[in-house]
Chains A and B, each alone.
Chain A
Amino acid sequence: MNNDTAIRTHDLTKRFGGFIAVNKISFDVKKGEIFGFLGANGAGKTTAMRMLCGLSIPSDGMATVAGFDVYKENEKIKKSIGYMSQQFSLYDDLTVKENMRFYGGIYGKSNQFIKEKTKLILDQLQLKNEANLLVKSLPLGWKQKLAFSVAMFHEPEIIFLDEPTGGVDPVTRREFWTMIYKAAATGTTVFVTTHYMDEAEYCDRVSIMVDGRIEALDTPAALKKNYNTNSMDDVFLQLARKATRKSD
């Protein structure tokens, strides 16, 4: 593999008993790319992402993340990635500052690093006054931005975002994407799932999953051209209608 590939999968498969959640997906993600991972509910996006993050063992196929094998080097992968799950997963009963300190600490960052980085993030998010508030007292949009910053705290090579903007207002969504762009500009690879087609337009490349398979993978512009339409919404609908699997 060449050095500018962040993620590579070949025929990656996950079966739960007789159910094939992810069916032989193959794709490459380049370093520094914003890769949109689209699909209806239940199409297998989260399962695929969990395999890449080392949370779930693949049933078949191969995958490397940051140059490490998902089967054998999953703990090494974990050092190189950040992950923001669908579920909000900061500690509600810790303060903003304590959450950052905790995650920085378990990634083995020095006290000096944690201190400086915390200050930087608080400045960026304009959360200086809220630094010592419990996370549960923050509004959802702020929490999501904070969760992103915490996932980025240890400066990973690749960041996985699982529906990061679900339930967030449009203004915050816009701000969130500004943060994603900033991260990509510093060379971080962004792997993001979303249901918002306007967000898909922000991605460098987009893959669309239907029933566990990748049905389309290209730049948003090329996809629209191929499907003879001028909106990503349409592309998605044309593909997603083929689905036979029930959404959850």
Chain B
Amino acid sequence: MRTLLFLLQKEFKQIFRDPSILRIIFIIPIIQLLILPWAADYEIKNIQLTVVDQDHSAYSRQLISKITSTGYFRLANYTNAYPQALKDVENGDADLILQIPVAFERQLVKENEATLFLAMNAIDGVKANLGSAYLRSIIQDFNREVRMEWIQLPRLNPETQIDITTSNWFNPLMNYKYFMVPGILVLLLTMVGVNLTSINIVKEKEIGTIEQINVTPIKKIHFILGKLIPFWLLGMLVLTIGLGIARLAYGIVPAGSVLTIYAFAALFLLAVLGLGLLVSTYAHTQQQAMLVTFFIMMIFILLSGLYTSIDSMPTWAKWITRLNPVTYFIEVMRMVVLKGSGLIDIKKHLLIMLGFAVVLNSWAIMNYRKRS
């Protein structure tokens, strides 16, 4: 026990003497949390639209002004030649082409029916898909308005119309920051756990101090606890700073209890620290440790459900997300922050995280050898 105190004392002194660690712990979270959520946005804006208007009618102008007034589209070009519009797409100036054919208005009035043509630049798939979906709903809206003008109430509408009204549960304004900010915070904690820990231990290997430690009668478990405890505390500190920023900068107040988040974070950190420790038992140089953790972080980020929905992934990828501790923390964050879930609701998540912590740490401890 006393040995552990000496180890902790040494570790804290070293951490607080290293300006780069302090920067990683305090400045990086602040910058990432203040900048990233504004840029990492799910909504698609500023879609460049080229309109090929071959009708030049009152209705075509009305439709165009309705589209541009939503704020999602920017009129990149207005032309009456389709090849010209296609050139815009080729040059990357336009994402979508809306073609209003000749006699659009006349057909609409006479035959009660008209055709529009949509072409999209699918290089940026998400933008093309969402853009055309937005445009479709605007055109539908326009369609309804036109009908309202013509059909004199109470005359019966010959066609039935299904109108959809939506209400967004848990995040009424669909504010994506409510799930982006907690998600980024989770990634920061993972960084502290995996990166800092593994590099710290491998550094001792590199400079040879670990050999000096190994030649002392120190117990393996003491040495490992001496490394885990400081970084566990640092992780909790980063979490606290992050939740503070979320509240001050974005007004995010968890619907559930902050204590629930801390309880889960405590276990989560234990698991990722175990992973960091495990990496350090395999890596011989800081460079190796960096590259391995970089690889792990990429998978953790992309297969965590932070940026893309897990439900739409192929089955094998879903399995990987289940083996990714970050997935569970992001789920828990969203549950607690948006739905107000409590400890009972995240019971399953807690148990799984405990499993991760036990497996990763035991593996690391078994693999850490004082003798070769």
Contacts and interface: CB of A to CB of B under 8 A. Distances in A.
Are the chains A and B members of one assembly? Answer: yes
Interface of A: 53-57, 74-76, 78-79, 81, 83, 85, 87-94, 98, 101-103, 105-108, 134
Contacts, number: 75
A87 B372 contact: no
A54 B371 contact: yes
Interface string B4-23: 01110110011001100000
A89 B17 contact: no
Point out which of A74, A78, A89, A94 has the most chain B C-beta atoms below 10 A from its C-beta: A89
Nearest to A102: B10
B211 A87 contact: yes
A74 B371 contact: yes
B168 interface: no
Point out which of A54, A76, A92, A106 has the most chain B C-beta atoms below 10 A from its C-beta: A106
Given A56-B372, A78-B217, A83-B212, A94 B6 contact: no
B217 to A, nearest CB: 4
A89 B209 contact: yes
A106 B218 contact: yes
28 contacts: A53-B215, A54-B215, A54-B370, A54-B371, A55-B211, A55-B370, A56-B372, A78-B215, A83-B212, A85-B208, A89-B208, A89-B209, A90-B212, A92-B207, A93-B13, A93-B14, A94-B13, A98-B10, A98-B13, A102-B6, A102-B10, A103-B212, A106-B3, A106-B7, A106-B213, A107-B216, A108-B2, A108-B3
B301 to A, nearest CB: 32
Contacts of B218: 106
Nearest to A78: B217
Nearest to A150: B212
Contacts of B371: 54-57, 74
Contacts of B17: 93, 134
A55 B214 contact: yes
A105 B214 CA distance: 15
Contact of A105 (B6, B14, B209, B370): B6
Nearest to A134: B17
A55 B215 contact: yes
Point out which of B6, B207, B209, B218 has the most chain A C-beta atoms below 10 A from its C-beta: B6
Given A55-B372, A89-B209, A108-B2, A103 B215 contact: no
Report, nearest first, the 4 A-B pairs whose CB atoms are least far apart: A105-B6, A87-B208, A89-B212, A83-B215
Contacts of B209: 89-91
Contacts of B5: 105
B6 A91 contact: no
A56 B370 CA distance: 8
B18 A93 contact: yes
A90 B14 CA distance: 13
B296 to A, nearest CB: 27
A74 B7 CA distance: 22
Interface string B197-215: 0000000000111011111
B294 to A, nearest CB: 25
Given A54-B215, A54-B370, A93-B17, 17 more contacts: A55-B211, A56-B372, A74-B371, A75-B217, A87-B208, A87-B211, A89-B211, A91-B10, A93-B13, A94-B14, A98-B13, A101-B6, A102-B10, A105-B3, A106-B7, A108-B2, A134-B17
Contacts of B14: 91, 93-94
Nearest to A76: B217
A94 B16 CA distance: 11
A83 B209 CA distance: 11
Contacts of B10: 91, 94, 98, 102
A148 B153 CA distance: 101
Point out which of A54, A56, A76 has the most chain B C-beta atoms below 10 A from its C-beta: A54
Contacts of B215: 53-55, 78, 81, 83
Nearest to A53: B215
